[in-house]
Structure 1
Amino acid sequence: MDESKKVANPELEKPKEEGEEEDPKPKPKNPLDLLPPSKILLDEWKRLYSNTKTNFREVAIKGFWDMYDPEGYSLWFCDYKYNDENIVSFVTLNKVGGFLQQMDLARKYAFGNMLVIGSQTPFKVKGLWLLRGQEIPQFVIDECYDMELYEWTKVDIYDKTQKERVNRIIEDYEAFEGEPLPDATCFN
């Protein structure tokens, strides 16, 4: 290039000072944002769940199945692998609370309900998760270390027994699988 045609711009030629910020790079898209649109509006379901106070099964559960999109979302049962360690109630509740805190990174893409079951020790911890996509998102597996403490089973929504178990976990106000339900914590 002809030296006489160069435009002097000291800002372009000046090296970056130490500690000086570079232009922010665009944040990479979450792969779940790139999935085709889903007919279920997760926030709409969360509002229905939170605002239904009476006739829960007739309103919220029916509403859930009316909204549910099996192509855009999947349902997962989770069962804590080490229930024999759950001998102190507040420690068990803290485990569940810590897990839900780790799951916060998936709030935009998930709904969950975690149950602490039993009147005597050891308590059982079980849950249900509605997750965007057909698999458990990799970023959740990578970032939520407690995921590995649970056995994850994809729900077969065409199996009546599994579908009823989904309903019972979402309801969370009666005895679950024949045992008292001292605590249920919703992730919404």
Structure 2
Amino acid sequence: MKKRVVARISGSVQGVGFRDIVADYAYQDGITGTVENIDEGDVRIIAEGEEEALKRFITRIGDTRDRYVHVHEIAATWGAATGESPYFRIIHGDLASESFERMGIGITILKNISGKQDQMIGKQDQMIGKQDQMIELQKTMLDSGNRTRAEIQGFREDFRTMMNREFSTMKEELQEIKAALRKAGIMG
């Protein structure tokens, strides 16, 4: 059964894009009606739709979690639907005040974007610092590897020289043994 609810929303609900959020909820829930800023910083919603959809709509409005929007109170009056609005729309104030409100929202959002960029730059600086540490560690490991390779090459040269001397000595001693065996007539 179609119902009508007239709700006054108090809190931080003007100049923060709240009416757009409400219009989006109305579209999602199949609600018709209006939303407008009223005196004392409140917002008035006149909404019609199926009772369950309206209850869900009002609950979603109360549960809105946004960086700028803070709903403190919803005063709702329920009644029978009148069918006066075929769709949901935002009632805007005069062009100048609406423009200034939107600029204020834009400035707030830009400030937040700037703050987020500063945080991202800080995190990038930390990452660059860690990358620099890794590069230094890699250089240290490369230097250590180069020293180890040089040590191994030096060892191989020393070992080759020593083995060549030993083989030369053994060759000379073998020739002396052969000569002694020939002289003794043991070897031909």
TM-score by length of 1: 0.33
Q: Which has the higher helix share?
A: 2
State which structure, 1 or 2, has the greater radius of gyration over its C-alpha atoms.
2
TM-score by length of 2: 0.33
